[in-house]
Structure 1
Amino acid sequence: MIAPTSQLEELQSRLNDASAEEILRWAGERFGAGVAFASSFGAEDVVLIDLIAKVAPAIPIFVLDTGRLHQETYDVMERSRERYGIEFETYSPQTEEIQNLLRNRGPNSFYRSIDDRKLCCEIRKVEPLRRALSGRQAWITGLRRAQAVTRATLPKVEIDATHGGIFKLNPLADWSEEQVWAYIRANDVPYNALHDRGFPSIGCAPCTRAIAPGEDVRAGRWWWEAAEHKECGLHVKR
């Protein structure tokens, strides 16, 4: 599916000021099983899991299991399964690709260069995402404008040219970090225990660290790289 530009402009006008609940409800009604939410179980994502369960429970939720996630991430996934009764679709890297990566470049190649890190992300995250989105008409993310310099102009609805011109929905684009945590606390939403240990942004275990007071919220992701390079490839525009 390739969404026409005129349709995008209409939806941006319609959804720009819509609440997260309204966007999710609209997506469920418009696309049915043709839309899915990509969850990594960060703070924003557990908010969206809770909202989907309340207003659009038919929307599928999938997980990219890179094979190097924190145990705490699996723990909140399990608590979410128990809380909401959700069967998360799980996509893992291709076995042969991982075996080749480890054999040819070793287990920690991503520390050596940006190219090596991006290759690891390509194998563990980007290629599984392509499979997860195959046949979809739209997907949902937990991206927010305030998360990073690379996301400052993020719209609530856009066309994802990288994945065949499908719609990409960002219901929390205009939320602040304070709003995210206020929702979690008010609704007793299960969240990743690493957030209480100074991890505002959580990815793979070797590529994520706690941040110091005053550091940018994304400082703990690929901390050896400059801020403008800190995307794994899932949200890079073609």
Structure 2
Amino acid sequence: MTTASSSPQLVGDAAGNADLSPRLQALVAGTCELLDRAVREYKDVVYSNSLGAEAMVLTDLIATHVPEIEIFTLDTGRLHEETLALLDRIERRYQRRIPVFSPDSAQIEQYVRENGINGFYLGLDERQSCCHIRKIEPFKRAIAGRKAWVTGVRREQSPERASNDSIAWDDRYDLWKVSPMLDWKEEDVWAYIKARNLPYNPLHDKGFPSIGCAPCTRAVEPGTDARSGRWWWESPESRECGLQPRRRVIPIKVESRRAAAQ
């Protein structure tokens, strides 16, 4: 598996202006075609920018080829400082303000009172409840009234994501879900970042293939499954925040363990 740690100094590399390989040209053409189709068919399309490596590719393609698609991101309140700095770099590069949606402070305060500041380590319910407050609710506000949303999921990331269709009705959010990068491999993502000299999160060079909230993300050994650094204390089948399909439904509210024990 190719990761940023095995391709150091991608930004600023002398090969940054190199032509894309035939495979990358085909992937880019297919991705842009699907994005164009989404705009033609659904008009009001938004991209939920995760600020990961795939997001750098999609941000570049959208800003360059399909600027009609609005880009937004989520600030959970627990992101790495490197992630927030990357957002600033993206806005400066593309001269485009990216709306940021944050969790409701009252819900965060209640969660912390019931579970503690790092209550997500207590169990699966507590972790998924935290993700629901910090990611799902802000995401729902961001897509409210929209016709379609774009995601950067790829088939090789997990069995659940491997079964995705490029355009499918998302009955969880009542709009169309567009997944234009399903057939991209990890090496394709980094080859594009290198060829276009794109900014990216420096944590990728420190062994973080997948980056989320700071307490829930850690570096992994080269060759390890990319998702293994997310919620590593859980079983692999539960390692989703809820934005993407998962095997277990996130509860809207759970009783804290402390309250249950009293």
Q: TM-score, normalized by length of structure 1? A: 0.89
Report percent identity of matched pairs. Answer: 49
Aligned equivalents of 2:219, 2:144: Cα separation in 1: 34
Aligned equivalents of 2:198, 2:224: Cα separation in 1: 26
Match of 1:231 among 230, 240, 243: 240
Aligned equivalents of 1:140, 1:221: Cα separation in 2: 22
| Letter matched to residue 36 of structure 2 | R
Match of 1:24 among 29, 35, 51: 35
Q: Using a 3 Å threshold, how does the CA distance of structure 1 residues 233 and 45 change in structure 2: closer, same or farther? A: same
CA offsets 1:180-210 (integer angstroms, 9 cap, x no match) = 0011000111111111110000100000000
Matched residue, 1:180: 189
Match of 1:140 among 131, 138, 150: 150
Aligned equivalents of 1:116, 1:26: Cα separation in 2: 39
Superposed displacement of residue 104, structure 1: 1.4
Aligned equivalents of 2:215, 2:223: Cα separation in 1: 22
Larger gyration radius, structure 1 or structure 2: 2
Aligned equivalents of 1:24, 1:52: Cα separation in 2: 8
Matched residue, 1:59: 69
Check conservation: 1:27, 1:35, Cα contact below 8 A. Answer: yes
Matched residue, 2:18: none
Superposed displacement of residue 229, structure 1: 0.6
Superposed displacement of residue 54, structure 1: 1.2
- Superposition pairs for residues 76-155 of structure 1, below 5 Å? 76-155=86-165
Q: What SS does structure 2 have at the residue aligned with 1:158?
A: strand
Aligned equivalents of 1:100, 1:132: Cα separation in 2: 22
CA offsets 1:69-103 (integer angstroms, 9 cap, x no match) = 01111111111000001111111101110110111
| Letter matched to residue 28 of structure 1 | V
Matched residue, 2:60: 50
CA offsets 1:100-150 (integer angstroms, 9 cap, x no match) = 011111111111101100000000001111111110000000100111222
Superposed displacement of residue 226, structure 1: 1.1
Q: What SS does structure 2 have at the residue aligned with 1:167?
A: strand
Aligned equivalents of 1:206, 1:109: Cα separation in 2: 11
Matched residue, 1:216: 225
Aligned equivalents of 1:93, 1:30: Cα separation in 2: 31
When the two chains are superposed, the root-mean-square deviation of aligned CA atoms in Å is 1.3
Residues paired across the two proteins, number: 219
| Letter matched to residue 192 of structure 1 | N
Superposed displacement of residue 21, structure 1: 1.1
Structure 2, gaps ≥5 residues long: 1-28, 250-262
Aligned equivalents of 1:187, 1:122: Cα separation in 2: 35
Higher relative contact order (CA 8 A, sep 6+): 2
Superposed displacement of residue 153, structure 1: 1.2
CA offsets 1:211-236 (integer angstroms, 9 cap, x no match) = 01231011100001111111101112
Q: TM-score, normalized by length of structure 2? A: 0.81
Match of 1:190 among 199, 202, 205: 199
Aligned equivalents of 1:157, 1:170: Cα separation in 2: 6
Structure 1, gaps ≥5 residues long: 1-17
